[in-house]
Amino acid sequence: MSRALIDFIRGPMFWIAAAVFVCGLSFQAWRFFRLTRDKPRRFTDAPAQSKKSRAERFLQRLGQLWLGCRRSLLGRQPTLVVVTVVFHCLLFVIPLFLWAHNRRLKDALGVSLGSLPEALTHFLTGVFLLCCAFFLLRRILVRQVRALTAGTDLLTLGITAAPFLTGYLAYLQWFDYKTILLLHMVSGELMLVLVPFTKLGHMLFFFFYRFFFGDEYSFGQGSRTW
């Protein structure tokens, strides 16, 4: 591969990918607000006064919370929920607080975020890859998920896992370091570029759909409608 191409991937391509990421998400946000509008007022108001005393209401809420934990997704599929939460936390924590990334950032911009110890980030990357493996196995082995799985799902999972896998291998210095590092950069940039335009956009739209639209499972009553 030519020196110029490598330099491009290491340098400007990252900024281009970051710009596409930011502008793409901003565009999607703008589009969402353009396509939706404020919800018109309800024609009648529900009766506002609860007949229960404060103590009764407090106990009722406590009971609902306990039932909610057991009957909600957390209660019914605890493994999946825990893996999903860990996966999404690490998806942000690892790239942001990796020493190697912060070093590059400091070189480029003069500022950086704090870094976690390298042994820790390496371990966490391993945990992240295990989460990816869990999702892959779930896609292949669980009948319901298999019925919905398309090629793009596997591709998306692969593109999300690739930067972490190549980063993990680069740290261990397995295979040719420079090649692995190049693949790491390319896969990371690819992922950034794809976020606004694929189902990875749920990064933004999870919050939009579940906070802005009011339905049985929304967080709050929802202030917007299509």
What angle do helix axes 151-172 and 177-194 make, rounded to 10 degrees? 140
- Which tokens sit at 71? 């009957």
Binding flag, residue 224, other proteins (CB under 8 A): no
Binding flag, residue 110, other proteins (CB under 8 A): no
Binding flag, residue 79, other proteins (CB under 8 A): no
Binding flag, residue 103, other proteins (CB under 8 A): no
Cα(175)–Cα(179) distance, rounded to whole angstroms?
Answer: 8
Cα(159)–Cα(143) distance, rounded to whole angstroms?
Answer: 23
Stretch that binds other proteins, among 13-21, 105-113, 187-195, 208-216 (CB under 8 A): 208-216
By C-beta, is 99 or 134 nearer to other proteins? 134
User: What backbone phi and psi angles, to 5 degrees, belong to 11?
Assistant: -110, -95
Positive or negative torsion for Cα 177, 160, 126, 10: positive
CB of 199 to other proteins, least distance (A): 6
Which parts of this chain interact with other proteins (CB under 8 A)? 31-32, 35, 43-44, 46-50, 60-61, 64, 73, 76-77, 80, 142-145, 147-150, 153, 198-199, 201-202, 205-206, 208-210, 213, 215-218, 221, 226
